[in-house]
Amino acid sequence: MFNRQTIQDCVIWACEHEVLSPKPGNVNSISDGHNMQVEDFIKSAHAIAPALTTPEASVGQRILYAIQATRDVVDCNTNLGIVLLLAPLCAAIEQCNTLESLRDTLSCVLKTLTIDDAKYCFEAIQLAEAGGLGKVAEHDINSTPTVTLLEAMEQAKSRDSIAAQYLNNYQEIFEVGLINLTSAINSGESIEWATTFAYLSLLSDSYDTLICRKQGGKTAQTISYKAQQFVSRVNKNKLLSSFSTELSVWDKELKRNAINPGTTADLTAATLFLHALSSK
């Protein structure tokens, strides 16, 4: 059984390493960006850990409590996507004796989400003041939900990779992010560069939906293709860290054009959380 303190430690570790890794286009240890700084994310990481592990709280409540805690320490949206992904994982891991049973337990948690979970989640999204969400005809976050949180995510899955994880039981995180993170670590990369490789692998696998919503599908396609090129070069028995100069140039270019693969960064944080749990 994973106790509350262990889960909190894993949340903080995952969020800190996600932002400290040199992932192109995101706020990172090499350069800030998008009107946010590394310290904003570090503060947020420590704020959400107790909220995400609130005893007896539902998934929706955990989401809302975490965003409320975030807004107490920063005045920007540093972690809505991370919170949306970690809340079900935290609820599931509390019920597991081993990590091997996590995906089955997570599936049960997701399938039993309620309308109340949706209400808490919608309130959290409004509080986070997340940009780039747009308006939709059904189950818009500014309306009162009449469906469960899982049903709301089903409606959003085509335009949001985070919503899609609720429907596919975190497939990309387990089968793309975690596998490639582990592979990079086993190849000798530091955790920071292994994290960046996992991020590029996720970005190669799927267009970043934040970019799709803000800059359009064509731009998202171009960014994914660039990520694929780096992944391909690494897979030819090279370390990603050997391309640090090229990645730094790309990072500056993305930030100069206000392009942020933020959804992919959120998936990466969840990947790191799973890795942290596996080491406990």
Give the per-residue pLDDT at 141: 64
Q: Does pLDDT of 135 surpass 50?
A: no
30, pLDDT greater than 50: yes
Residues listed for the chain: 280
Query: Quick one: average pLDDT of 252-265?
Result: 96
Fold that domain 4-168+268-278 belongs to in CATH: Triphosphoribosyl-dephospho-CoA protein (1.10.4200)
Q: What is the pLDDT of residues 227-239, one digit of tens each?
A: 999 999 999 988 9
Tell me 260's DSSP state.
-
CA–CA dist 206, 187 (Å, integer): 24
Residue 1 — pLDDT band, cuts 50, 70, 90?
Answer: confident
Query: Residue 31's pLDDT is what?
Result: 81
pLDDT(213) > 50: yes
Provide the pLDDT confidence category of residue 221 given band limits of 50, 70 and 90: very high
- For the chain, give the mean pLDDT: 94
DSSP code of residue 94: T
Maximum alpha-carbon separation in the chain: 52
Section 173-177 average pLDDT: 98
29 confidence band (pLDDT: 50, 70, 90): confident
The pair of three-digit structure tokens given for residue 157, joined into one six-digit string: 């899955």
95: Cβ contacts below 8 Å, ≥ 6 apart: 105, 109
Tell me the domain boundaries of the chain: 4-168+268-278, 175-262
Residue percentage of the chain with pLDDT more than 70: 95
Q: What pLDDT is attached to residue 130?
A: 66
Q: What is the pLDDT of residue 132?
A: 45
Q: Quick check: 64 and 124 in contact, CB under 8 A? A: yes
Summarize pLDDT for 54-83 with one digit per residue, the tens.
Answer: 999 999 999 999 999 999 999 999 999 999
Kindly indicate the confidence band of residue 140, based on its pLDDT and cuts at 50, 70 and 90: low
